[in-house]
Amino acid sequence: MISSYCNTVFDKCIKDYHVTDNVDVAIDNPYPKDSIEYLLYLKNWIDTVQWHLEDIIRNPNIDPVDALTLKRRIDRSNQERTDVVEFIDDHFLQEYKLTRSKSTATLNTESPAWAIDRLSILALKIYHMHIETDRNDATEEHKSICSKKLTILLEQRKDLSQAIDELLNDIKNGDKYMKVYRQMKMYNDPRLNPILYQQQSK
C-alpha cells in the first residue's frame, strides 16, 4: 500500500531534519533518484523546512528586512512544493498509463499526489503535536488538550491513508481515472502578477 510507504518515508524525513533542526541544512536524500521514495522524501523535506520558516517569520521581534527575505523564501518553497507534487502525479500517470478506464469510471476531487501532500503535512502535525504532549514547561491542561488533538490527528492519518490506497486501487482497476490540472500560481510569475508586470512597463 502506497500510504504505508509514504508514512514511513515522511516519518524518517522529519526525524532526519530534526537531527540538526536547522532550516539551512542541505537535504541528504537517501533514496535512489528515480524512485517514488526519493520524491516523497524531497516533498516532506520541503514541507518540514517550510514549517519551521513559518514559525520563524511569526516571531513578533523579527527584523522587518529579515521577515521580507523569509517571505520570499517561503514563496519559492511553495513553488518547489507544487512542482514536486506534480512530479509525484507524473509518476502515477506513468504507472497507470496502460490502464483502461471503465465507461462508468469517475473523477476524484483531487489527484493522488495532492492527497499525499496532505498526508505529508499531517505527519508534521503529528510529530509536533506529540512534542506538545510531553513538554516539561507546559501545564497539565495544555498537555491534555494536545493529547486529544493528537488522537484526532492520528485518526485523520489513518482515514486519509485508507482513502489514498483506495483511490489508487480504483485507478488501477479502472473505476477512477486521473486528470491532472497543472497548478497555475500567478504571484510568482512576472507575466501574471500585476505588481510585477506594471513595474516592468515603467
pLDDT tens, the chain, 202 aa long: 899 999 999 999 999 999 999 999 999 999 999 999 999 999 999 999 999 999 999 999 999 999 999 999 999 999 999 999 999 999 999 999 999 999 999 999 899 999 999 999 999 999 999 999 999 999 999 999 999 999 999 999 999 999 999 999 999 999 999 988 777 666 767 776 776 667 776 6
The whole-model pTM stands at: 0.91
| Sign of the four-CA dihedral 105, 89, 193, 66 | positive
User: Which of these, 90, 87, 107, 76, lies nearest to 42 by C-alpha position?
Assistant: 87
d(CA 69, CA 12): 29
Q: CA separation (Å) from 197 to 78, 112, 189?
A: 21, 34, 9
